[in-house]
Structure 1
Amino acid sequence: MKISNLSSRGTARRRTSAAVALAAVLALTATACGDDGSGAGGDKGAEGSGKGKIVFWDNNGGIRTAVWKEIIAGFEKANPDIDVEYVGIAATEYQSKVDTAIQGGGLPDVGGVTASMLAGFSAQGALEPLDGRLAKSSLDGQLNKDMVESLKAAGGGDGTLYSVPTSANNGVLYYRTDLFEKAGLEEPTTWDRFYTAAEKLTRADRNEFGYTIRGGSGSIAQAFDAMYGQSGITSFWDADKKKTTVNDPKNVAALEKYAALYKKATPAADVNNDFAKMVAQWDTGTIGMLNHNLGSYQDHVKALGTDGFRGIPQPVGPGGKRVQVSNPVDGLGVFKSSKNKEAAWKFIEFATSKEQNSKFNESAGQVPSNTGAGQDAWIREAEPTKLAADALTDGSTTIVQLPYYLPDWNTLSKSESEPAFQKVLLGDMTAKSFLDDLAEKLNAAQADWVEQAG
Structure 2
Amino acid sequence: MKISNHRSSKGGRRSAAAVALSAVLALTATACGDDGSGTAGDKGNEGSGKGKIVFWDNNGGVRTDIWKEIIADFEKANPKIDVEYVGIASTEYQSKVDTSIQGGGLPDVGGVGAAMIAAIAAQNALEPLDDRLAKSSLNGKLNEDMVKSLQSAGGDDDKLYSIPTSANNGVLYYRTDLFKKAGLDAPTTWDKFYEAADKLTNEDKNEFGYTIRGGAGSIAQALDAMYGQSGLTSFWDSSGEKTTVNDPKNVAALEKYVALYKKTTPAADLNNDFTKMVAQWDSGTIGMLNHNLGSYQDHVKAFGTDKFRGIPQPVGPGGKRVQVSNPVDGLGLFKSSKNKEAAWKFIEFATSHAENSKFNESAGQVPANTDAAKDPWVSAAEPTKLAADALSDGSTSIVQLPYYLPDWGTISKTDNEPAFQKVVNGSMSAKDFLDTMAEQLNTAQAEWSEQKG
User: Same fold by TM-score, threshold 0.5 exceeded?
Assistant: yes
Residue number in structure 1 paired with 2:159: 160
Q: Which amino acid aligns with 2:339?
A: N
CA distance in 2, matches of 1:329, 1:239: 25
Alpha carbons 1:40, 1:125 under 8 Å: kept: no
What are the within-5 Å matches in structure 2 for residues 52-451 of structure 1?
A: 52-451=51-450
User: Match of 2:212, as an amino acid?
Assistant: I
Q: Report if aligned partners of 1:25, 1:123 keep a CA contact under 8 Å in 2.
A: no
* Deviation at residue 244 of structure 1 after TM alignment: 0.2
Report deviation, 1:231: 0.9
- Which shifted more, 137-146 or 354-363? 137-146
> 1:22 deviation in Å?
7.2
Q: Report what 2:18 is aligned to.
A: 20
**TM-fit CA distance, 1:81:** 2.5
After superposing the two structures, state which structure 1 stretch, 105-114 or 355-364, moved more. 105-114
Corresponding letter in the other structure for 1:363: S
Residue identity (%):
79
Partner-residue secondary structure (3-state), 1:283: helix
Deviation string 1:99-138 (CA, Å, 9 cap, x unpaired) is 2222222222111111121111111111011112112222
Q: Does 1:45 align with 2:44?
A: yes
Give how far 1:275 is off: 1.7
Contact 1:25 1:452 in 2 (8 A): no
User: Which SS does the other structure have where 1:316 is aligned?
Assistant: coil
- CA 1:22–1:376 in 2, change beyond 3 Å: closer, same or farther? closer
Q: How much does 1:211 deviate?
A: 0.9
| C-alpha separation in 2, matches of 1:73 and 1:204 | 52
Distance (Å, rounded) in 1 between the aligned partners of 2:39 and 2:242: 33
TM-score (norm 1): 0.89
Partner amino acid, structure 1, of 2:19: A
- Please identify, of 421-430 and 284-293, the stretch whose mean Cα deviation from structure 2 is larger: 421-430
Query: Following superposition, which runs of at least 4 residues in structure 1 exceed 6 angstroms of deviation?
Result: 24-27
Shift in Å, 1:42: 2.9
Choose between structure 1 and 2 for higher RCO, CA contacts under 8 A separated by at least 6 residues. 2
Q: Residue 272 and residue 308 in structure 1: after superposition, are their counterparts in 2 closer, same or farther (change >3 A)?
A: same
SS of 1:121 mapped into structure 2: helix
Structure 2 distance, partners of 1:61, 1:217, is 20
The residue number in structure 1 matching 2:10 is none
Q: How many angstroms apart in 1 are the aligned matches of 2:429 and 2:22?
A: 35
**Which amino acid is 1:391 matched to?**
A
Q: Per the alignment, do residues 113 and 64 of structure 1 end up closer, same or farther by CA in structure 2, a change over 3 Å counting? A: same
Contact 2:19–2:119 under 8 Å retained in 1: no
Q: Which moved more, 1:298-307 or 1:44-53?
A: 44-53
Give the letter for the 1:204 counterpart: E
AA at the equivalent of 1:21? V
Tell me if the contact between 1:24 and 1:124 (Cα under 8 Å) persists in the aligned partners.
no
**Cα distance in structure 2, aligned partners of 1:434 and 1:290:** 24
Shift of 1:423: 2.1
2:415 partner SS: coil
- Measured in 2, the distance between the counterparts of 1:119 and 1:230 equals 29
1:19 Cα offset (Å): 8.0
Residue 239 to residue 390, structure 1, CA distance change in 2 (3 Å):
same
What secondary structure sits across from 2:237 in the alignment?
Answer: coil
Does structure 2 conserve the Cα–Cα contact (< 8 Å) formed by 1:122 and 1:162?
yes
Q: Is the 8 A contact 1:55 1:108 kept in 2?
A: yes
Q: Shift of residue 186 of structure 1?
A: 1.4
Q: Distance in 2 between matches of 1:53 and 1:303?
A: 42
**RMSD of the alignment, in Å?**
2.1
Deviation at 1:26, TM superposition (A): 9.7
Aligned partners of 2:40 and 2:335 also within 8 Å:
no
Shift of 1:158: 4.9
Judged with a 3 Å threshold, the aligned counterparts in structure 2 of structure 1 residues 19 and 373 are, in CA distance, closer, same or farther, namely: closer
Query: What is the rounded CA distance, in whole Å, between the counterparts of 1:53 and 1:167 in structure 2?
Result: 26
Q: Deviations over 1:412-446 (max 9, x none)?
A: 21222222212222223222221111111110111
Gaps of 5+ in 2: 1-15, 30-37
- Mapped contact 2:45–2:336 kept (Cα < 8 A): yes
Asked if 1 retains the 8 angstrom alpha-carbon contact of 2:53 and 2:108, the reply is yes
Give the Cα–Cα distance (whole angstroms) in 2 for the partners of residues 166 and 109 of structure 1: 17
- Whichever residue aligns with residue 233 of structure 1, its letter is L
Cα distance in 2 for residues equivalent to 1:240 and 1:90: 39
Report the more deviating stretch, 329-338 or 59-68. 59-68
Task: Quote the Cα distance in structure 2 between the aligned partners of 1:313 and 1:280.
Answer: 21
CA contact (8 A) 1:24 1:123 kept: no
Specify the alignment match of 1:3 in structure 2: none
How many angstroms apart in 2 are the aligned matches of 1:74 and 1:22?
A: 37
CA distance in 1 between partners of 2:416 and 2:105 (Å): 31
What's the CA shift string for 1:292-328, capped at 9, x where partnerless?
A: 1112112211221111111111111112211111111
Change in Cα spacing, 1:333 to 1:431, as seen in structure 2 (3 Å) is same
Report the Cα distance in structure 1 between the residues aligned to 2:268 and 2:54, rounded to whole angstroms.
39
Following superposition, the deviation at residue 208 of structure 1 comes to 1.8
Greater mean deviation of Cα atoms: 141-150 or 160-169: 141-150
Q: Quickly say closer, same or farther: Cα 1:407–1:99, change in 2 above 3 A.
A: same
Structure-2 separation of matches of 1:417 and 1:77: 48
